[in-house]
A and B are shown apart, each in its own frame.
With several copies, the nearest count.
Chain A
Amino acid sequence: TGCGGTEKSSTDSGKGKDGDLPAVGATIYKFDDNFMSYVRRAMETAADGKVNLMLNDSQNDQAKQVEQVDTLIAKGAKSLAINLVDPKAAQTIIDKAKVKDIPVIFFNKEPDASVLKGYEKAYYVGTTSSESGILQGELIAKAWEANKDTWDKNGDGKLQYVLLKGEPGHPDAEARTKFVVDTVKEKGIEVDELALDTGMWDAMKATEKMDAWIAKYNDEIEFVIANNDGMALGAIASLEKAGYFSGDKFMPVVGVDAIPEALEMIEKGKMVGSILNDAKNQGAATVQLAANAANGKDVLEGTEWKLDDAKAVRVPYIEITKDNIQVGKDAYK
Chain B
Amino acid sequence: MNTQATKKSTIVKWLFDNVIYVFLILLVIGIVIASPDFLSMTNLINILSQSSSRIIIALGIAGILILGGTDLSAGRMVGLAAVVSASLLQAGDYAYKMYPNLPELPLFVPIIIAMLVTGLFGTLNGFIVSKFHVPPFIATLGMMIGVYGITSIYFDRPPYGAQPIGGLSESFTTFAQKGIKLGQYEFPYLILYAIAFSIIIWVLWNKTQLGKNMYAIGGNPEAAKVSGVNVAKNIIIIYMIAGLLYGFSGTLEAGRVGSATNNTGNMYELDAIAACVVGGVSLSGGIGTVPGVITGVLIFQVINYGLAFLGVSPYIQFIVKGAIIIVAVAFDMRKHAKKK
Contact = CB atoms under 8 A, between A and B. Distances in A.
A contacts B directly in the complex (CB < 8 Å)? Answer: yes
A332 B154 CA distance: 20
B314 interface: yes
Contacts of B317: 57, 197
Given A63-B257, A66-B257, A212-B308, A168 B162 contact: yes
A203 B257 contact: yes
A40 to B, nearest CB: 7
Interface string B87-102: 0000000111000000
19 contacts: A4-B158, A6-B157, A9-B156, A9-B315, A10-B313, A12-B313, A31-B162, A61-B267, A63-B256, A74-B40, A91-B258, A167-B263, A173-B162, A197-B311, A215-B42, A234-B257, A237-B258, A241-B177, A264-B167
A71 B46 contact: yes
Contacts of A264: 94-96, 166-167
Contact of A237 (B96, B177, B310, B312): B177
Contacts of A32: 152, 162, 261-263
B177 A92 contact: yes
A197 B314 contact: yes
A243 B42 CA distance: 13
Interface string B175-195: 001000000001010000000
A204 B256 contact: yes
Given A5-B156, A71-B46, A169 B261 contact: yes
B308 to A, nearest CB: 4
A252 interface: no
B98 to A, nearest CB: 10
Contacts of A259: 163-164
Nearest to A74: B42
Interface in A1-52: 1-2, 4-6, 9-10, 12-15, 31-32, 34, 37-38, 40-41
A55 B313 contact: yes
Given A38-B163, A260-B160, A9 B308 contact: no
A128 interface: no
Given A2-B154, A74-B42, A230-B164, 17 more contacts: A5-B157, A61-B266, A74-B46, A87-B166, A89-B166, A90-B258, A92-B259, A95-B173, A112-B166, A114-B95, A167-B263, A168-B152, A211-B305, A212-B308, A213-B308, A260-B96, A332-B163
A34 B261 CA distance: 8
Contacts of A34: 162-164, 261
Given A5-B158, A37-B161, A211 B152 contact: no
A233 interface: yes
B257 A62 contact: yes
A86 B308 contact: no
A169 B309 contact: no
Interface residues of B, number: 53
B50 A208 contact: yes
Nearest to A218: B42
Contacts of B257: 62-63, 66, 86, 89, 92, 203-204, 207, 233-234, 237
Per DSSP, are chain A's interface residues mostly helix, strand or loop, or mixed?
Answer: helix
Interface in A155-204: 165, 167-171, 173-174, 178, 195-198, 202-204
Nearest to A205: B304
A254 interface: no
B163 A171 contact: yes
Contacts, number: 238
B177 A37 contact: no
A60 B258 CA distance: 16
A70 B263 CA distance: 22
Given A168-B314, A169-B261, A38 B161 contact: yes
A168 B152 CA distance: 8
Interface of A: 1-2, 4-6, 9-10, 12-15, 31-32, 34, 37-38, 40-41, 54-57, 60-63, 66-68, 70-72, 74-75, 86-92, 95, 112, 114, 165, 167-171, 173-174, 178, 195-198, 202-204, 207-209, 211-216, 230, 233-234, 236-237, 240-241, 259-261, 264, 332
Contact of B163 (A2, A37, A71, A114): A37
Contacts of A2: 153-154, 157
Interface in B275-316: 304-305, 308-316
Contact of B314 (A55, A233, A237): A55
A260 B259 CA distance: 12
Contacts of A62: 257, 259, 261, 264
A76 B198 CA distance: 33
B263 A215 contact: no
B315 A211 contact: no
Contact of A216 (B37, B50, B163, B177): B37
Nearest to B164: A88
A66 B308 contact: no
A304 B43 CA distance: 39
A41 B156 CA distance: 10
Contacts of A54: 311
B165 interface: yes
